[in-house]
């Protein structure tokens, strides 16, 4: 048996339906393709830096049964378990917490945006087994708070049951410096083993690593759910009434280049940068591009279009190995962008897309229907036609989901458009909103129509056929397509899961 003095085990429980694996880092979708859970992985490196040994038991990726999952945890004889939870994973996590606590003589530390929003639900959901600090919910940014508790038993930014009642200790807002946050996890033995699952159809070379070089987003978009690390920070900060958001923090170009190098040395040929606003500062962007251009990595990132309407920036990105950028534009109607507080001039999109195409960076466009009660079918059809005219090849359409903790959720409550206030959210399967002129059913049908119209064009189908490089890429593509096109099946599955 391994000594339990400093073994910390990061866990991800089994899933009931492998078509609906919660994506825990983005936090707002079911898994189209597996992504490393960076919210846990950076903490793993941080704890190892401070002398703890770490292991990962990921039942979702390793396809473990509940019994196998618990046996794997028991065999490691951990000092503590760490679970990163999001709203889509909450039913799974709440169901298994009492079973883990009954089987393993170690406390469970829970963190993430949903635990930060409703810590009591996790503590009460675990029942009596959560008492006497067997389960602690770390609210907001968790690394320093968890480290203090492990080292000295000091509780900050935590909720727990002391045996008599639930106690909440406020966060001290001593946020971690990204410069001091290590990234050794890229070469961690278990991460390397799991990397066989880290596939992403946007990249011809697999597997694909992921990284995060900032925390937070300065923009106030009403519907937005940022990555789970940033969202947890926001929910805790707003809950204490300090303001709408904590200050966004960015890693230096040197720190970014060092992590690119670590990814390359760990054997990954491709990398996806998961920051909400990786390209927010032009000077920093150009310095990053200069620092990573010689590593030979193919990489991608997320961006607003107004960070991509400058040819100097796009040219630098291409020279540095960037081949794909996910662009969140949501709609191509300016009046709707203004209503959802996007603070974006739609003309920047029309400048950005041709620049990316010119420099052979593939734009992947994210579109949402129903993000404002003022949106009409004419607005939706306008967006679809414009995307066809621009000859983009990758678009993701979705019905806007009012996630709890966002202004869009509060707006939907007030105006009566929220028709389902449960936690049984399924962004791929059902609309949670309905308007007098755009019903729930019509929004869902328009989303299916957009996919069919966009992707079943002969030119699009031929291009996709030519892009296949292996049987695995065909299988992965079919899995993604089945999730996106066959929404009725997905909705039925999600509804049955909610009844369990």
Does the bond joining 289 to the residue before it have cis omega, within 30 degrees of 0? no
pLDDT in the model for residue 1: 32
pLDDT in the model for residue 500: 36
* Rounded Cα gap, residues 82 and 42, in angstroms: 12
pLDDT in the model for residue 258: 98
**Token representation of residue 255:** 């720190």
Per the CB < 8 A criterion, the answer to whether 137 and 115 are in contact is yes
pLDDT in the model for residue 242: 67
The pLDDT profile of the chain, 500 residues, written as one tens digit per residue, is 334 479 999 999 999 888 889 999 988 888 877 889 999 999 999 999 999 999 999 999 999 999 999 999 999 999 999 999 999 999 999 999 999 999 999 999 999 999 999 999 999 999 999 999 999 999 999 999 999 999 999 999 999 999 999 999 999 998 999 998 999 999 999 999 999 999 988 899 999 999 999 999 999 999 989 999 999 999 999 876 667 788 899 999 999 999 999 999 999 999 999 999 999 999 999 999 999 999 999 999 999 999 999 999 999 999 999 999 999 999 999 999 999 999 999 999 999 999 999 999 999 999 999 999 999 999 999 999 999 999 999 999 999 999 999 999 999 999 999 999 888 777 766 789 999 999 999 999 999 999 999 988 777 766 666 665 566 555 655 555 555 555 443 343 333 333 33
Number of H helices, E strands in the chain: 20, 17
pLDDT in the model for residue 28: 82
**Best CATH choice for the domain 195-499 from the list 3.40.47.10, 1.10.10.60, 3.80.30.20, 1.20.58.1030:** 3.80.30.20
**Token representation of residue 322:** 């960037």
Domain extent listing, the chain: 7-169, 195-499
* Rounded Cα gap, residues 207 and 406, in angstroms: 33
**Best CATH choice for the domain 7-169 from the list 3.40.50.2300, 3.40.50.620, 2.60.40.10, 3.40.50.150:** 3.40.50.2300
pLDDT in the model for residue 285: 98
Residue 161, CB-side half-sphere exposure with 13 Å CA sphere: 21
Per the CB < 8 A criterion, the answer to whether 82 and 136 are in contact is no
């Amino acid at each position: 048996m391994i000594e339990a003095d400093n073994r910390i085990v990061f866990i991800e429980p089994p899933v009931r339906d492998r078509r609906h694996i919660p994506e825990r880092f983005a936090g707002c979708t079911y898994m189209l393709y597996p992504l490393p859970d960076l919210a846990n992985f950076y903490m793993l490196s941080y704890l190892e830096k401070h002398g703890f040994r770490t292991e990962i038991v990921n039942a979702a990726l390793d396809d473990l049964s509940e019994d196998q999952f618990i046996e794997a945890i028991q065999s490691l004889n951990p000092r503590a378990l760490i679970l990163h939870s999001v709203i889509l994973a909450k039913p799974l996590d709440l169901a298994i917490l009492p079973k883990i606590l009954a089987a393993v003589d170690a406390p469970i530390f829970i963190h993430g945006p949903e635990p930060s929003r409703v810590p009591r639900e996790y503590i009460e959901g675990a029942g009596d087994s959560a008492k006497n600090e067997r389960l602690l919910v770390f609210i907001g940014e968790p690394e320093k708070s968890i480290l203090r508790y492990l080292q000295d038993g000091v509780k900050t930014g935590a909720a727990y049951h002391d045996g008599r009642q639930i106690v909440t200790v406020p966060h001290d807002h001593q946020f971690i410096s990204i410069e001091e946050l290590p990234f050794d996890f890229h070469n961690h033995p278990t991460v390397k083993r799991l990397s066989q699952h880290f596939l992403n159809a946007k990249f011809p070379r697999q597997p694909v690593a992921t990284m995060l070089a900032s925390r937070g987003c300065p923009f106030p978009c009403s519907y937005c759910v940022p990555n789970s690390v940033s969202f947890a920070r926001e929910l805790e900060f707003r809950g204490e009434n300090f303001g709408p958001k904590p200050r966004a923090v960015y890693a230096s170009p040197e720190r970014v280049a060092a992590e690119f190098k670590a990814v390359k040395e760990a054997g990954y040929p491709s990398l996806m940068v998961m920051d909400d606003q990786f390209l927010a500062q032009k000077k920093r962007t150009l310095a990053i591009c200069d620092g990573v251009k010689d590593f030979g990595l193919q990489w991608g990132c997320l961006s607003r279009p107004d960070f991509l309407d400058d040819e100097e920036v796009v040219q630098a990105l291409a020279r540095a190995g960037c081949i794909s950028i996910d662009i969140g534009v949501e709609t191509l109607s300016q009046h709707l962008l203004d209503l959802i507080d996007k603070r974006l001039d739609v003309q920047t999109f029309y400048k950005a897309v041709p620049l990316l195409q010119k420099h052979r960076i593939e734009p992947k466009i994210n579109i949402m229907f129903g993000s404002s009660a003022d949106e009409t079918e004419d607005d939706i059809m306008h967006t679809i036609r414009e995307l066809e005219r621009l000859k983009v090849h990758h678009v993701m359409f979705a019905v806007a989901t009012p996630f709890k903790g966002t202004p869009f959720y509060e707006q939907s409550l007030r105006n009566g458009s929220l028709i389902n206030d449960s936690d049984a959210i399924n962004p791929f399967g059902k609309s949670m909103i309905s308007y007098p002129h755009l019903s729930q059913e019509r929004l869902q049908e328009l989303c299916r129509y957009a996919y069919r119209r966009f992707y079943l064009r002969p030119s699009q189908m031929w291009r996709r056929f030519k892009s296949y490089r292996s049987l695995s890429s065909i299988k992965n593509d079919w899995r993604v397509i089945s999730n996106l096109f066959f929404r009725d099946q997905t909705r039925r599955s999600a509804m049955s899961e909610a009844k369990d």
